[in-house]
Amino acid sequence: MDYDYHHLPHVKVQSKSRTALWATLLLTLFFTFVEIAGGLISHSLALLSDSAHMASDVIALLFSMLALFMATRPPNRKYTFGYLRFEIIASLLNGLTLTAIAIGIFIEGIKRFIHPQTIDFKWMLIIASIGLVVNIALTVVLHRSTKEEENLNVKSALWHFIGDLLNSAGVIISALLIYFTGMNFFDPLISIIIGGVIFYGGAKIIRESYLILMDTVPDGFDLEQIRADMYAIEGIEDVHDMHLWNISSDHCSLTAHVFVKNGCEPLHVILAVNQMLEIKYGIRHTTIQTEDPAIHDHADYLRQKKKRLAGA
C-alpha cells in the first residue's frame, strides 16, 4: 500500500462472477427488447411485467458489475476498509428495485382485473417460451457463480433471474389457461402471483443488506460462545466491548478488549486469541486490545461484575 500496511487485503477479486455477469448482461439486454415488443404486440400484462423485470435485471447487473469493480480497489486514507461495502449498497438497491417492480405489477394487475384486455395467445406463448429457455440458462450460470464465489450482490442479481424464470413459466401457464378457457383474467392473476414471489426475493435481499449495513453479528456466529472460548484461554480475566460485524458478505471483523491476569504476557494472550478465532471461526481480521484494571479506569466495572457473579 502507498499509505499504510494491512495484514489482510481489503480487496475482493472475483473473476468467475465477473464473467458470469457479463454473459448474463448481454443476453438479458437483448431479450428485454424482444419481450417489450412481444408484450406490446400480444397485449399481455404478464409478458410486459416480465419485460419490465428484465429491464430491471439490466440495471441490477450494471450495479453488480460496478460493485465487483469497486471491490478490487485498494484501501486509501479515506476508505480504510477499501470499497467492499459497495457490494452491500448495490444489493440493497437491487432489492429495492425488485420490490418496486412487484408493487407495480400488483397495481397494473388490479387495473387489468377491472378493465380486461384481449390477449394474443400465439405471440404470448412464443415469446414466453423463448424467455423460459433464456432465463433457465441465466439462472444456472449465476447460481453456479454464487456457489463458487460468495457475493451477496450476485445473489441479489440471481433473485432477479429467479423472478424472471417464474414469470416466464407463469406467462406460459397463463397463455394455456386463456387458450383452453377463454378467460383473460388468468393473465393478471398469474402476474400478481409472480409479483408476490418477486417481492419476497426483494425483501429477502433488503433484509440481508440492512443487517450488514447495521453491523449486526453475522448469521452463523454466537457472540457469547466466542466470548466463552476467549475466557478459556489462559491469562484472560475478562472480555468486554466486543464487536463482530461484516464489511461485505464474506469479510468478518472482530474487536474486543480483554483484561490480562497479572504475570501473563499480553502479546502471547493476543496471539492465542487470534489463533483461536481463525482456526475455530475463520475470523482473520481482528483487533484485540489488552487492558490492566490497575491502569485503565475499569475498577467499578470489575466490582459490579464480581458482585453479579457472587449473587448468581
Predicted confidence at residue 229, as pLDDT, reads: 96
117 close to 186: Cβ distance less than 8 angstroms = no
Tally helices (H) and strands (E) across the chain: 9, 3
Predicted confidence at residue 1, as pLDDT, reads: 46
Percent of the chain exceeding pLDDT 90 equals 19
Place of cell 469497486: 70
Short-list 51, 54, 66, CA closest to 21: 66
Return the SS3 of 254.
strand
Predicted confidence at residue 18, as pLDDT, reads: 67
Question: pLDDT tens for residues 197-210?
Answer: 888 888 988 998 99
32 close to 76: Cβ distance less than 8 angstroms = no
Per-range mean pLDDT, top range of 25-29, 136-140, 252-256, 294-298 = 252-256
**DSSP per residue over 285-301, as a string?**
EEEEEEE-TTTSS-HHH
Place of cell 414469470: 167
